[in-house]
Amino acid sequence: MESPLSSLDFHAARAMLEWQMELGADEPIGDAPIDRYEVAAEAPRPAAAMPAPLPRSEIDPVEVARIAAGAAGSLEELAGLQSDYPHCDLRKGARNFVFADGNPQARVLILGEAPGRDEDIEGRPFVGRAGQLLDRMFAAIGLARTAHNRDEAIYITNVMPWRPPQNRDPEPAEIAMMLPFVARHVELVNPDIVVLMGNTPCDAALGRRGILRLRGSWAEAFGRPAMPMTHPAYLLRNPAAKREAWADLLAIKSRLEASR
């Protein structure tokens, strides 16, 4: 029988090997049992051509994330694989892994930036002041994270599942590591519309920052329509910007109605 590993390309096989090493494996062991007494009777053979262990600096964290995310067949599996991902140092300083909230059947997925203090404590996204404003904003167009009906529901997640220290912006390398997980997350939920809430999700999904220019114009992210919006934390500091946010919410509402 052909081993499933023989269908892997070099990079995938190498990344899997590095993953095993990260988990503490220090010795290769074959699939088939070996009779050690039999082997001892034979003449010693030259050592098998096993690649030398890679130094940690040669591990490609994005490739490891891609393989792990691609292996997830459900949201539960994705949450498990992402929370076990060892290469993002933010996990060391965070209290909780913050995966998602809301209805996974929702037609609208909101992608935020990263957990803040309240989310880190509670383990759920958007539960602080900004989150309460977000709930009020979407309630104004008839959508809620608690809704059972997919037409009235939202699903909420973040680019980063761990709180950055002092709420600093996530670094480009940290965003790059999480992007395969975010892409798989969106694929598994399969929403009709993605809302990119602030600069970090625009950076991750569109490769662009400058939310005040991007907001209000439909873009494409993860193969579906995406609306960049100003983050509710920004709206709390700049209430005058709520007028534009309202226009963006109405654009989302009419797009949902047009494709129902």
Cβ proximity to ligand URA, 96 vs 105, nearer residue: 96
Q: How far is the CB of 106 from ligand URA (least distance, A)?
A: 16
Looking only at the bridges linking them, the beta strands covering 154-158 and 100-102 are antiparallel
Return the residue nearest ligand URA (CB atom). Answer: 112
Binding site for ligand URA (CB under 6 A): 112-116, 119, 125-126, 130-131, 158, 197
CA–CA separation, 33 vs 38, rounded Å?
12
The least CB distance from residue 109 to ligand URA, in Å, is 13
Amino acid, single-letter form, for residue 147: A
- Closer residue to ligand URA in complex, CB, 15/116: 116
Q: Name the minimum Å distance from CB 34 to ligand URA.
A: 51
Distance CA 118, CA 123 (A): 8
Residue 135 or 152 with smaller CB distance to ligand URA? 135
| CA distances in angstroms from 138 to 10, 105, 190, listed in the order given | 46, 16, 19
**Measured from the CB of residue 259, what is the shortest distance to ligand URA in angstroms?**
26
Kindly tell me which of 67 and 161 has the beta carbon lying closer to ligand URA: 161
Neighbours of 152 (CB within 10 A): 18
Nearest to 19 by CA among 32, 6, 5: 5
Tell me which residue of 53, 176, 156, 163 sits closest to 112, measured CA to CA: 156
The β-bridge partners of 154 are: 108
Q: Please, what is the minimum distance in Å from the beta carbon of residue 234 to ligand URA?
A: 10
CA–CA distance, 181 with 187 (Å, rounded to integer): 10
Nearest CB to ligand URA, comparing residues 126 and 138: 126
